[in-house]
Amino acid sequence: MALKKICIGSLERIDEAAQEFISFISNSDLQSNIFAFYGNMGAGKTTFITALCRVLGVEDTVNSPTFTIVNEYRAAKGFPIYHFDFYRINKESEAYDIGIDEYFGGDGLCFIEWPQKISQILPDDIINVSINVLPDGSRQIEIG
């Protein structure tokens, strides 16, 4: 997949950026892909994933799964969205304990925060998403 850059100048533009992200990804990719979100603490991973869920029509409150490791939501079109946060795990085997293979092999959309904690067990066909804070405080999202 080609590299795509999206700039978020302010939180007021985050839903617009999320829509641009969704538009960049084809519908077939969207329903069966794993997105690995990289970024420093405070870069906005959870905030952007929350905006993606909102744009996809999730009606539930989207929270960080920091302590639960995974939260499940339902998109307006009916497919599941799994939001993972592996920040607190100490070993990749902990991901297996929650049934990570079933999530990755299913028909849902997976958004993963802190994927570097499970890098050895990530499938090859994931889409990497980097969120970088620029000197002016804006965020740049790189997909690819």
pLDDT at 2: 54
**What CATH number does the domain located at 4-143 have?**
3.40.50.300
Residues 32, 26: Cα–Cα separation, whole Å: 10
pLDDT at 105: 86
pLDDT at 116: 96
Query: DSSP letter at 9?
Result: -
CA distances to 6, 61, 62, 109, 129 from 71, in Å? 26, 10, 8, 12, 19
Asked if 91 and 118 touch (Cβ cutoff 8 Å), the reply is no
Indicate the domain borders of the chain: 4-143
Whose tokens are 């965020």? That residue is: 139
pLDDT at 56: 94
Residues 30, 23: Cα–Cα separation, whole Å: 10
Give the pLDDT band of residue 25 (cuts 50, 70, 90): confident
Helices (H), 1-144: 14-24, 27-30, 45-55, 93-97, 100-105
Average of per-residue pLDDT values in the chain: 89
Asked if 48 and 81 touch (Cβ cutoff 8 Å), the reply is no
Give the pLDDT band of residue 64 (cuts 50, 70, 90): confident
pLDDT at 16: 95
Nearest residue to 139 (alpha-carbon basis) of 5, 27, 9: 9
Give the pLDDT band of residue 139 (cuts 50, 70, 90): very high
More confident residue, 27 or 76: 76
User: DSSP letters along 130-144, please?
Assistant: EEEE-TTS-EEEEE-
What tokens were used for 136? 């002016």
For 75-115, the pLDDT digits (tens) are: 999 999 999 999 999 998 899 999 999 999 888 899 999 99
Mean pLDDT of 108-137: 93
pLDDT at 63: 83
Residues 59, 94: Cα–Cα separation, whole Å: 29
* Confidence check: pLDDT of 55 > 50: yes
